[in-house]
Structure 1
């Protein structure tokens, strides 16, 4: 086993703390910010979320190709932490500015800054995934590193959820526009510093080919790569459900439950997912990764059903929060497993085709799924709210409340349950991993430099 140092593990965790310190604002609070602070209509917000995320999803393969063709003294993935951390911090801040413009100009400004921020997040977050296959060749150690990464991700989310809105209120003095303007840059600076720390400490130790593949050649790694297609399909559905769940959360707790005070508690419960994420290596020693992954997805669907039962009973806040917590506990596994096995699909592609395309496979398998799924997961519930007659800061109609419940409960439940179906077929490919690693190691040991072309 190629055991990594704790400096590597904690620096890998820091790379996802850095990303979440800004991106958590976008995933959890931007729809609410757009409707209730900046004054955009729910329909406009839904369209912005969908268009921006799909534009960003389309650029994911482009980023992947760029990463696969990157050659620098720092490696392939690592230098992007240095090059993109400052632009990401700047546009993360600009996304939460509220210039005094007409409604159409507001929509254009929101769309442009949001698209830019998402494109940059893909550019800096995809190397966080693709570098994993270069940090160690050991699939079990990759699970351990993914656990540390999930800790970093959830820590970043917890920091934002516990302190973000409170800081907005404190710095804004009742003016949320001013509060967001002053609070978000603080998190942007912290993000920048942590990305630089990850750049300093992470090292790429798995050798790669000296010359990059032709652009079209990198797509050859997808040929017959069924583990990757399983990851893609399941992750896409997962992110639709997960983002729908959190997009409607502030609206649901404010208008359906009349418990705005619980928004911070409900969002902070995401940290509960670490309880299962930390146990991920242990789970994977006692059961197949496919089984662990499927149980996580079905556990999330079960949590949604419990939330529904709580809504039906009064509502029962304890039962709602119990279902919400169960969902987050299960998400520690359901969210982490695709990131852990993506590197294995990179190995499978190299073993099957001779092409190692870590950048492309992780960019599309992780970033595209996150962004495209998140685009639909954010847009669908907002469109439903608009069609149901949602108007911010007033008592909601029965139709509007029903729309909130669908976006918070049933859309995620359906997505999580269906996402578990392709995962049931993963185990047959997982059983090949020892053979794949042995043969790849043998190939690399016997590889010789290509002869120089004759003139």
Structure 2
């Protein structure tokens, strides 16, 4: 890395492999967890919603605890990288257990679901919080962090593409008609891949930004300064509303296509006229969305340089909100129009996570500049806590509404249930999207302010020698 803070491409790519591993699971959580538990594991929607809420709230509480632990970890590899090495195998093993359906009664299955899901998410926290915090210490340069964040999410959307395109077909192929067996074996495959990818991220990256040498460990001061970091608080609220936008919709996407759209006779370019099952349609819908998001990620760094990260977030998200709301007026047979809206909305709203995580790294710089203390792990872990709370509440709202409207798996749904699915796919997430845009309007760190902060911090770090790479 040159003195200016620029990273070589190979290190940026190595860092991206960590998200390739993580999102094999996170994309499954987003798109298929509610479907897996209601239609494969077969527990009632209301019971599944409570499990999601309880387990993810508990998991969210663990995030800042993990951040505090990581900030205080000292090894020859740094503070955050070692957890990629230590936790990748236990995480993969727990993934297989989570997607294994035991031959238990209703109570036993629910206990198994709670135990394995909570265990999986705790291990996800143990590997992903340090991995995410690594973004804040891999380089001191804010523009380079946006570039690294873009590559991170290129790999993330690549993993999303893999899950969307391969998971349901792989379940079918490996299960041979037994979906429960297919899900379990599929996560043996994903688990092996995840271990390899985490190890690449561990071996190929370095930590360069250290806390000031004069900083004394103090959990009380760290927490106090975090909750008085105004840019971080605004990002936290923005992220919560954004995650609700994504989570509510993603939680019912498979149900929407299974029960509202169903099997369709379509005439598609290059494929001609054919009857397509809902599994094929939803897999193609999610896959094309991931591909469009990946294109958006390739362009977002350039766009953010033109208008600033905050303005880029507002412009792109506003487009995604409008296109999501438009699903309310689509009929089941308008599948091609659904795909068009998915492509454009994914192109604009897919890159938002790139901007958010780069802005979180900026807020860590702000905290160090303002107070003289750097708590990178805590900043990122408390931020992922908001994500998990958002996912918990989003899935809870979706499943509770479905239960209240009489949803039952694997049967024809009532008109009220179908209308509920339509609202959860369109207008309800759009409301959360509008809220997120309103909140981010108050975010105070523009590019001019960040340049001033970077200059001051570089002078301090040069004087203290706080940017020596960890091996």
TM-score, scaled to structure 2: 0.92
Contact 1:173–1:179 at 8 Å: present in 2 too?
A: yes
1:92-149 per-residue CA deviation (whole Å, 9 max, x = no partner) reads: 1111011111111211110111111111112211222211121111100111000100
> How far apart are residue 430 of structure 1 and its match?
4.4
2:237 matches 1:219: no
**Per-residue CA distance 1:152-183 (angstroms, 9 max, x = gap):** 10011111111111111011111101111211
- Residue equivalent to 1:155: 158
Provide structure 2 residue ranges, at least 5 long, that are not aligned to the other structure. Answer: 264-277, 467-471
Q: Distance in 2 between matches of 1:403 and 1:223?
A: 37
Q: Which moved more, 1:404-413 or 1:94-103?
A: 404-413
State the secondary structure of the residue aligned to 1:3: coil
* Contact 1:305/1:323 (<8 A) preserved: no
Structure-2 residue corresponding to 1:40: 43
Q: 1:406 to 1:364 in 2, by over 3 A?
A: same
Within a 5 Å distance, the mapping from 1:131-142 to structure 2 comes to 131-142=134-145
Aligned partner (choices 257, 278, 284) of residue 253 of structure 1: 257
- Whether 2:196 is the aligned partner of 1:193: answer yes
Of 422, 427, 437, the residue aligned with 1:410 is 427
- Partner SS, residue 248 of structure 1: helix
Contact 1:38 1:177 in 2 (8 A): yes
Partner of residue 453, structure 1 = none
Match of 1:359 among 377, 399, 404: 377
Is 1:238 aligned with 2:242? yes
Per-residue CA deviation, residues 297-319 of structure 1 (Å, 9 max, x unaligned), is 212211112222323xx642222
In the alignment, what sits opposite 2:109? 106
What residue is the counterpart of 2:350 in the other structure?
332
2: CA distance between counterparts of 1:124 and 1:203?
Answer: 16
Of residues 311, 330, 340, the one that matches 1:291 is: 311
Distance 2:465 2:183 in 1: 56
Does 1:57 find its partner at 2:57? no
CA contact (8 A) 2:252 2:398 kept: yes
TM-score (norm 1): 0.95
Aligned residue pairs total 446
Structure 1 residue runs of 4+, over 4 Å off? 427-430
Q: What is the root-mean-square deviation of aligned Cα atoms in Å? A: 1.6
Pairing of 1:342-421 with structure 2 (within 5 A): 342-365=360-383, 367-421=384-438
Distance 1:303 1:16 in 2: 27
Contact 1:238–1:415 (CA<8 Å) still a contact in 2?
yes
Structure-2 residue corresponding to 1:4 = 7
For structure 1, the residue ranges without an aligned partner over 5 or more in a row are 450-455
Match of 2:351, SS state, is helix
SS at structure 1 position matched to 2:353: helix
Distance 2:302 2:243 in 1: 25
Cα deviations by residue, 1:66-96 (Å, 9 ceiling, x for unpaired): 1111111000111110111111111111110
Displacement after TM superposition at 1:3 (Å): 1.5
Q: Is the 8 A contact 1:143 1:280 kept in 2?
A: no
> Which SS does the other structure have where 1:193 is aligned?
helix
Question: Corresponding residue for 1:123?
Answer: 126
Q: Does the aligned pair in 2 maintain the 1:307–1:319 contact within 8 Å?
A: no
Give the Cα separation in 2 of the matches to 1:398 and 1:344: 48
Native 8 Å contact 1:221 1:356 kept in 2: no
Measured in 1, the distance between the counterparts of 2:333 and 2:230 equals 44
